[in-house]
Structure 1
C-alpha cells in the first residue's frame, strides 16, 4: 500500500496494486492571493545554454514570517544565482542574475548542450545541526559541499578525463567553498572527487531524448535533504508540450502559451528555542529554516474549520511524543516559491500543468477541488516523470492504475469518441507525488456532474489542494491548500472537444531510433572489467529496501541478490541490507552486443512498514509482469502494437505487512517497523515485489536509491556501473 488509509471505494479500485492513497479533503473559503508567477526561463541559443550558477544563501522575498513577539521577516534560504557565463571570473555582472527561491526553468531542445559552472558560495553549517556528520566518511559535511544532478535526464554520467575536465551528470564529486575551510582527508567512504570553489559540468542532450520536464538539484550524500529543503532546485524542459500534445477537434499542437510549470517546494521556519537534529538538543534562532524537514512540524489536519490553511500550517509542540517544540513556527508549502497563488485560466481550451515535487522528503496527495460542488475535478494525465504516455484503446482503468504504480486515482473519462486517439486518454481525480515525481495534466473547467468539458459558470473556481498523506506506519504529511484557480474561459473552444490527443514518447523511446533502443553513439567495444558480466538468460535482480540493523532506527539500506530463470537465488550473489558505500559497485553490467541498450528485470521488495520510492539515474523503467502475454502492456518485451504504457524514473513501493499480531508487535516494537529478509522469505512478513523492466543506455557510474532524501542520506542508496559491450559497435 502506498499510504495507510483511504476511502473504501478507492481501495477497491486499487485491489490489484501494491499502493493505497489517503484521501481526505477540507473546504476552504475563497481568499485574496498573490498572482501565479511562472519560473524565470533561461533558454538555449544555437544549441547551447552556457551558465554560471552560484549556490548561496539569500532572504526569500516571497515568504514572510512573523515570529511570536517579533517583526515580519524573510527567512534565509539557499538559492542558485544564475547568469549567462561571463568571459572570465566566477561572478555575475550586476543586473544579469536570476536568484529565485521558487526555481528557474532551463529550456533546452533535443541535441543541445547544457554547460554550467557551479560555484559553491554556501555558508558553513553548525556541526550539531548536521545529522550525518558522524557517519563514515562524512566528517566534512559541516563545510557544506555541493554538486549537481540533472534528475530524469537520459544523459551520460561522465567523469572528467585528462583531455576534458568537465563533468557530465556525475554525482561523485564534492565542491567545497574554500571560505569554509579545507576538507580533511577521509580514508574510508570517500564520496567522490573533491573540488574547491567550483566545477564545470557539460550535459549533452541526445537528439533522440524524450520531450518532457526534468529537474536539477544537489546530490551530496548526507546533505541532500538539507540543501533541497533550503531551496536548491530548479526545473529543466526538453522540447515543448506541443511535441506530443495535440487537440482532438483540430489536430494542431497545443499552444505553449497555455502551459504552466508548477514547482512544489516546502520550507519549515522555526520560532526559536531548541530542536533535536539528531545530535541532541541544539539552539535554533527565530526565523531559521529547519532543513531536516520534520514531518511532525504541523498537525496533519486542521484542528477545526476555523483553521484555514492557505499555503502554510502552524507549528506544534511535539515534545510529548519525543519530538521538538515548533510552536510559533510555520511550514510553508509553496508553488513556484509563493504561498497560495491565484491562477487565472483564460484559454477556452484549458491549460497543461507541468508539476514537479521538488521537496526533500515530503510526498503530496493532490486534488483540484471544485469550490461549488466540493468534489475533485477530473484532469487528464498526459505525461509521467517527463515521458508522455502511450496506451492502447482497450486499456482498462485497473491497468492504468497498475501501470502508473498506483499513484493516480483513475476514473472513467467523460464520453469520448471510441477511436482517433493515438493514446487512450487517462482521466484522474487524485495524484500522489512522492519526492522527485513529475506529472503533466490537462486542466480545464468541467461540468461537476458529468465531467464533460463545458463553458464555466460565472465566478467558477477551484482549490488546488494537498489533502494530507500518511506513509504507512511512518510520516504524516499535512493537508494544505496550495493555490486558487479561477476559470475565466469564455469564448469558443478551438482545439479540444473531449480530450487531448497524446502522441506518446513512452513508445517512441523504445523504437529502433529511440534513446532506449538505438545504438549508444559514444560507446565502443572494450574488454569487460573483472566482476562485470551480463545477466544470464532469464535471470533477474532483486533489491531489498530495509534497515541494515532493524534494532537500530534509521539504518536505511539496500540489499541485493540475483535470481535464476526458476526464481531461485543464485548462490554467492546475496548481499544483506547494507548502508551506502560509494567505494562498492553493487551492480555492474555491459551494454548488449553492438553497443545497444540492454534490458534487465529487477524485483523491488519492500521490507519496511513505511513507504519508500525507487529511483534510478540515467534511464527509465516500466512495470511488468513476467507471466503476462505478449499482447499485454505488462509484457516483458514491448509490443509496438500495444504501446509502452507509462515510463517512470521513480515509483512508490508498498509496505510490508506482518502476518500475525505477534509478528506485528515484534516488528513495531523491537524492529523499528522494519521486517528482515528472513521474515519476508518465511512468510512472517508479506510484501509483493514490484517488477520492472529497465533498459540501460548510458555507460558510466551512477546510483539507485530511495528519493525520500532522509532515507537516501541515511544510506538507502547503492552504486551501479554500466560498461561497453566487448562485442562490436566500434565507430
Structure 2
C-alpha cells in the first residue's frame, strides 16, 4: 500500500480522556534473583468509545496487557494460559532468549492449555513488548488487543537521573490505529487488506483522545508502535525539540536532539520532552502529522531543574566488520505476493544458518516494483542488532543503538551487524503483521 492510499485519521469529536495506564503486574513471587508471573489471554468487552462496548482480547484484562518488570540477571518464570477458542503463542519481542521460549509459530498454546516458560534475563535495560506470533493469525489477534509491555531494568536504570515515576513523569504510549464500525466493533475481516490493516481511529493504550497532566519538568514517553501496519511520524505541535534517549534494545550512547521521529510497526523509542520553561496551564501536543497523539497539560509546578545525563550507555564498536562475509537478502512484493529471497514462509525449511556468539553481517535490499514498492519494517527474533549503514551511509544518531526492528524503504539497502546469543531456530520477517501472516518470513538456525 502506497503512502497516498493510507487512510487518514478521522477527527473524533467529544471529550478528552485521561490516558489509561497499563497495570504493573504483581509477581506471583519475587526474590532477589528470581521472579514469577502468570499471563492469561482472554476475551472481554472494553469501552473504547462512547456507546456500545467493543468485543476485544487482552492479557489479564479485556484489552492490551499489563507491564512485566524484570531485571538483568534475574531468572524469570512465566505461566502462560490461553483462554481463547483458538491457538495463540506468547512472543517476547526484543528479548534475547532461547528459541524454545521465544514464542514463535513453533510454540503454539492450544485453547484452555497452559505452558510454563523459564529464562534468564541477559540484556540491558530496555522497553520491550509481547504479542502473539501464531501461524497466520498474528495480525488478527494483535488487532483485537493482544499486546503488552516488558520493562527490563538494570544498574544503569537505577543510576541514571532520568524521569522514572510511573504515571507521573514516565508514561508508556502504545500507538494503535483501529476501525470501529457503527456498533463500535472491531471487524477485522471487513477491514482486511493483505498489505496491512489501517484504522481511521487512533488509540493510545486503548484511550481515545488521551491527555496527561504533568508538572513543568522533564517528561519521558516510552513509545511503542503496536499498529499492524501504520508508520508514525511524531513531532511536537510547536516544533519544539525533544531528545531520544533509547531505541528498541536500550539506551543510546547519549541523548539525541530531534524535532521529528519515524516509528514503524514493532519499533520502540524513548523520548524526553523538556517542559521546565512551560507555565502552569500551558498545553503541548505530541502529533502524528495533523493528528493529536497525546495532549500534555502542565498542571502544578516544581522548582527542580534537572540536566539530562550526557552519557547514557556505552555501545561497543567492533573493528571486524570489514573482514566478515556479507549475507544478502531481498525483500519484495506486495499483498499476497510478498517474499524474502523469492520465497514465502515454510516451517519445514531453514533459510539461513548462523553460529551462536559469532558476528554476522546481513545486507537487506528492499526491491522496488513498477509502482515504486513499499517500505517494510524488518524484525529479527532472539537478539538486538546494530544498523551499520543505510545505502552505504552511516545511520542517523538515533539509529546507532540496539535495534530489533528496522524500517527499510523501497529501493533501500540496509546492512545489519548481528550476533545470536542463543541456539535454536529464530524467525526474521516483515513486521507489517498481514505481510508476516501471508508468508513474508524466514527462519535462521543458530548452531
Q: Does 1:464 align with 2:294?
A: no
Alignment-derived partner of residue 315 in structure 2: 506
Shift of 1:650: 0.6
Q: Which residue of 1 aligns with 2:55?
A: 76
Q: 1:267, 1:290 within 8 Å by CA — same for their partners in 2?
A: no
What residue number does 2:16 align with?
A: 33
Is 1:541–2:327 an aligned residue pair? yes
1:89 aligns with none
- Distance in structure 1 (CA, Å) of the matches to 2:236 and 2:209: 13
Structure-2 separation of matches of 1:643 and 1:430: 11
- 1:357 equivalent in structure 2: 225
String of CA shifts for 1:323-376, please: whole Å, max 9, x gaps. x9x9xxx84321211111221111x4311111111122222222221xxxxx32
User: Based on CA coordinates, which of the two structures has the bigger radius of gyration?
Assistant: 1
Please tell me whether the aligned partners of residues 149 and 170 of structure 1 are also in contact (alpha carbons under 8 angstroms).
Answer: yes
Note the 1:231-380 alignment, pairs <5 A: 231-239=145-153, 243=157, 246=160, 252=161, 254-257=163-166, 258-271=169-182, 286-291=183-188, 294=191, 331-346=200-215, 348-369=216-237, 375-380=238-243
Aligned residue in 2 for 1:386: 249
Q: Check 1:244–1:601 CA distance in 2 against 1; reply closer, same or farther (3 A cut).
A: farther
Tell me if 1:174 matches 2:113.
no
CA distance in 1, matches of 2:149, 2:156: 18
Give the alignment partner of residue 267 of structure 2, picking from 437, 447, 460.
437
Question: Cα deviations across residues 595-652 of structure 1 (Å, max 9, x unaligned)?
Answer: xx21111111112411111110111222225998xxx977xxxxxxx99932211111
Distance 1:345 1:589, change over 3 A: same
CA distance in 2, matches of 1:383, 1:623: 15
Q: Measure, in 2, the Cα distance between the counterparts of 1:266 and 1:241.
A: 35
Residues 290 and 720 of structure 1: is their aligned pair in 2 closer, same or farther, counting only changes over 3 Å?
A: same
Deviation at 1:494, TM superposition (A): 3.4
Aligned-partner Cα distance in 1 for 2:226–2:110: 23
Pairing partner for 2:96 from 146, 150, 154? 154
Q: Quickly say closer, same or farther: Cα 1:644–1:224, change in 2 above 3 A.
A: closer
Whole-angstrom distance in 2 between the partners of 1:169 and 1:115: 14
Out of 578, 585, 606, the position equivalent to 2:366 is: 606
Q: CA deviation at 1:382?
A: 0.3
Aligned equivalents of 1:644, 1:341: Cα separation in 2? 28
Give the equivalent residue in structure 2 for 1:121: 83
RMSD of Structure 2 on Structure 1 (CA): 3.5
Aligned counterparts of 1:229 and 1:241: Cα–Cα separation in 2: 35
User: Residue 247 of structure 2 contacts residue 399 of structure 2 at CA under 8 Å; is this kept in 1?
Assistant: no
**Match of residue 277 from structure 2:** 455
2 CA distance for matches of 1:461 and 1:643?
A: 26
Q: Using the TM superposition, give the Cα deviation of residue 484 of structure 1 relative to its aligned residue in structure 2, in angstroms.
A: 1.2
Write the distance in 2 (CA, Å) between the matches of 1:627 and 1:503. 28
| 1:489–1:367 Cα change, 3 Å | farther
| Gap change, CA 1:331 and 1:122, over 3 Å in 2 | farther
Contact (CA 8 Å) 1:227, 1:291: kept in 2 or not?
Answer: no
Helix, strand or coil at the partner of 1:646: coil
Q: Deviations over 1:20-64 (max 9, x none)?
A: xx9x999x9997422223210025521333233221210013x13
Residue-pair matches, total: 431
Aligned twin of 1:198: 114
| Alpha-carbon distance, 1:171 to partner | 4.0
Give the drift of 1:480. 3.4
8 Å contact kept, 2:125–2:156: no
2:384 maps to which residue? 620
2:70 pairs, out of 108, 111, 121, with: 108
CA distance in 1, matches of 2:2, 2:214: 32
- Distance, in Å, in 2 between the alignment partners of 1:624 and 1:376 is 30
Q: Distance in 2 between matches of 1:360 and 1:153?
A: 20
State the secondary structure of the residue aligned to 1:506. coil
Matches of 2:159 and 2:378 in 1, distance apart?
A: 28
Among 687, 692, 698, the alignment partner of 2:422 is 698
Q: 2:407 aligns with which of 640, 644, 652?
A: 652
Residue aligning to 1:714: 438
- Give the drift of 1:154: 1.3
Conserved? CA contact 2:41–2:83, under 8 Å? yes
Does residue 1:483 correspond to 2:294, yes or no?
yes
Q: Provide TM-score, normalisation by structure 2.
A: 0.86
Name the CA shift for 1:715/1:154 in 2 (closer, same or farther; >3 Å): same
SS of equivalent residue, structure 1 residue 226: helix
**Deviation (angstroms), 1:113:** 2.6
Supply the distance in 1 between the matched residues of 2:155 and 2:163 (Cα, whole angstroms). 7
Q: What CA distance in whole angstroms lies between the structure 1 residues aligned with 2:343 and 2:37?
A: 38
What's the counterpart of residue 56 of structure 1? 42
SS in 2 for 1:269: coil
SS at match of 1:694: strand
Task: Report the structure, 1 or 2, having the larger strand content.
Answer: 2
Counterpart secondary structure, 1:40: coil
